[in-house]
């Protein structure tokens, strides 16, 4: 049985448009999509380490079987880091009941924590560190909510560019993305034969290409004829 876990983006939730799309479209294939709420237990204390632990907890609850991760924006960064950890465990000879064998990344923030934190400049980052508070828009709740500096500090422990795992990966990215640099994602892809990049005429939300992403993801996951 194939398992699939969807990881939503920063300031989003399991009720996002793309999360619901994958959940609804995969149901006829008998795939029950897990979509952990990465805002829990408290959005203000969000960190990459905590999100990775949440995903691995979800994985541990599932029976053995191949695992696909789909991640959007910050969720794409987390999905890749989870896959790196799984690959390292397999290389070390550890038993992995749910090996990640496919990744689908939607506008992934692969350099999160290593290229600043938009829209903050150096002075803004210093102020965030000093006050340990930065108010951001949480789009699901449609209100400003504080986030602690540990989000940025913790993310620097993880370097996506430091690992080249052999897991087949499909990335969708918008040429007009002004949140995650398309050139950065292109550089990431260029030196990784297992990664395919589908550059789309879209922005960070990729909302104009939902059907394209679903159709190509379904083929990539082996659900539809190629």
Please name every residue paired with 49 in a beta bridge, in sequence order, or none if there are none.
none
Q: If phi over 0 gives left and psi between -120 and 50 gives alpha, with beta otherwise, what is residue 3?
A: beta
Residue 1 has pLDDT above 90, yes or no: no
Confidence of residue 101 (pLDDT cuts 50, 70, 90): very high
Cβ burial, residue 43 (10 Å; 0-12/13-18/19+): buried
Residue 48 has pLDDT above 90, yes or no: yes
Cis bond upstream, residue 119 (ω within 30): yes
Helix (H, G, I), strand (E, B) or coil at 172: strand
The tokens 């496919």 sit on which residue?
Answer: 102
Contact 67, 167 (CB under 8 A): no
pLDDT number for residue 115: 84
Q: What phi, psi does 3 have (nearest 5°)?
A: -110, 150
Q: How are strands ordered across the β-sheet holding 100-106?
A: 3-7, 67-72, 100-106, 169-174, 195-200
Residue 97 has pLDDT above 60, yes or no: no
CA distance 189 to 212: 20
Could you report the per-residue pLDDT of 167-189, keeping only the tens digit for each? 999 999 999 999 999 999 999 99
pTM of the model: 0.94
Residue 216 has pLDDT above 90, yes or no: yes
pLDDT number for residue 96: 60
Q: What is the mean pLDDT of the chain?
A: 93
pLDDT number for residue 89: 81
Domains and CATH numbers, the chain: 3-113+159-220 (3.40.50.1820)
Compute how many other C-beta atoms are within 10 angstroms of the C-beta atom of residue 214.
17
CA nearest neighbour of 185 among 165, 160, 209:
160
């Amino acid at each position: 049985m194939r398992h699939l876990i969807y990881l939503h983006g920063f300031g989003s939730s399991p009720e996002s448009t793309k999360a619901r799309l994958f959940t609804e479209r995969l149901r006829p294939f008998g795939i029950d999509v897990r979509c952990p709420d990465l805002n829990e237990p408290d959005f203000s204390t969000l960190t990459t380490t905590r999100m990775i632990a949440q995903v691995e907890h979800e994985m541990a609850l599932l029976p053995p079987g191949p695992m696909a991760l789909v991640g959007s924006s910050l969720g794409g960064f987390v999905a890749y880091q989870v896959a790196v950890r799984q690959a390292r465990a397999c290389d070390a000879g550890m038993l992995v009941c749910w090996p990640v064998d496919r990744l689908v990344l939607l506008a992934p923030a692969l350099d999160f924590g290593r290229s600043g934190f938009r829209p903050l400049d150096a002075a803004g980052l210093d102020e965030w560190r000093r006050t340990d508070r930065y108010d951001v828009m949480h789009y699901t709740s449609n209100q400003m909510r504080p986030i602690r500096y540990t989000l940025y500090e913790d993310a620097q422990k993880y370097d996506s560019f430091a690992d080249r795992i052999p897991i087949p990966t499909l990335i969708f990215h918008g040429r007009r993305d002004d949140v995650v640099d398309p050139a950065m994602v292109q550089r990431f892809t260029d030196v990784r034969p297992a990664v395919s990049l589908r550059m789309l005429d879209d922005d960070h939300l990729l909302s104009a290409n939902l059907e394209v992403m679903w159709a190509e993801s379904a083929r990539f996951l082996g659900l539809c004829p190629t």
